[in-house]
Structure 1
Amino acid sequence: MAGNVDADPFKKGTQVEMSLEDDGFWGSWYTATVVCPISKKTHKIHLEFHTLTSGDNSAKSLRWTQFWSVPSHHARHARRRFNNSEDVDAFHNDGWWEGIVITAQNGDRYSVFFRSSREQIEFDEFQLRLHRE
């Protein structure tokens, strides 16, 4: 691929997750699709988010360009059972938010506490994944 990183896990069409560190987004992850892979020339990647939109009352998906100095890929979608006090990411408010399992209920429902917002919310197992830094 001329102009792009060869054998890149961030090739065009790949679904990725991005952590946004702006105010109000810390600790959350959002799914996106690579629109244009990492360029050798500019070291930038172009993404289109699945659940974030371009602005107030817009249905248009947010497109984002980011300088990419050291790409890393985290596979975090394996389903599993979770234990009390285990750090998890929960899909909530259109993104993945870091929390801690407080209690397991009925085998596939979990109560999760979010340190950042001081909320406790129940989730189905498929809405959780093991937290990774």
Structure 2
Amino acid sequence: MDLYKVGMRVEVVGHSDGFWNSYYGAKVLRVDRTKLRVRYDQIVDEDYGEYTVEDVDLKHIRPYPPESFDINYRLTVGDDVEVYDRDGWWRGEVVFDELDDELMVYFSYMAGDDEEEFGTFPYDDVRIHQEVKQVGKGFEWSHVKVAGPK
């Protein structure tokens, strides 16, 4: 359990209807055996006007991902990405990158919902999707699907 520490930045993985494939930044306030108490970076409790504090099961937590594997990498069609929107990061796939400073992203899990399946986002709001696994007393990150450097 010494993987997570008080003060550490983490992401809470969306785990309820309408929030699948999303990640929300938070700071660890307390560590228990199976849960972490976190304070979200962006989600505000409307009743109190403060950032929401919640106890979250460890299976819905991941450490905050590294900023980038390669700062020279340019996102392109086919890349598995996360887009910052509505206070969190939402997983999608780049489907068009010929716009000036924006990428068009497809969200397959929204197909058939009332939500938009496609969106156009500035490069600054898009990051490569990375998966994490525990390795010893630390974490190892890897890309899921990357089309290749441009």
Equivalences, count: 123
Distance in 1 of aligned mates of 2:16 and 2:39: 17
**Is 1:53 the equivalent of 2:51?**
no
Identity %: 25
* 2:121 aligned partner: 123
Q: Give how far 1:17 is off.
A: 1.0
CA-atom RMSD in angstroms: 2.5
Q: Which runs of 5+ in 1 are unaligned?
A: none
Residue equivalent to 2:10: 16
Secondary structure in structure 2 of the residue aligned to 1:116:
helix
SS at match of 1:75: coil
Correspondences of 1:71-110 after superposition (within 5 Å): 72-73=62-63, 75-78=65-68, 80-106=73-99, 108-110=101-103
Following superposition, the deviation at residue 107 of structure 1 comes to: 5.8
Counterpart AA for 2:126: L
Query: What residue number does 1:33 align with?
Result: 27
With normalisation by structure 1, the TM-score equals 0.76
Partner of 1:66: 56
Q: Which runs of 5+ in 2 are unaligned?
A: 112-116, 132-150
Going from structure 1 to structure 2, the CA distance change for 1:83 and 1:11 (only over 3 Å counts) comes to: same
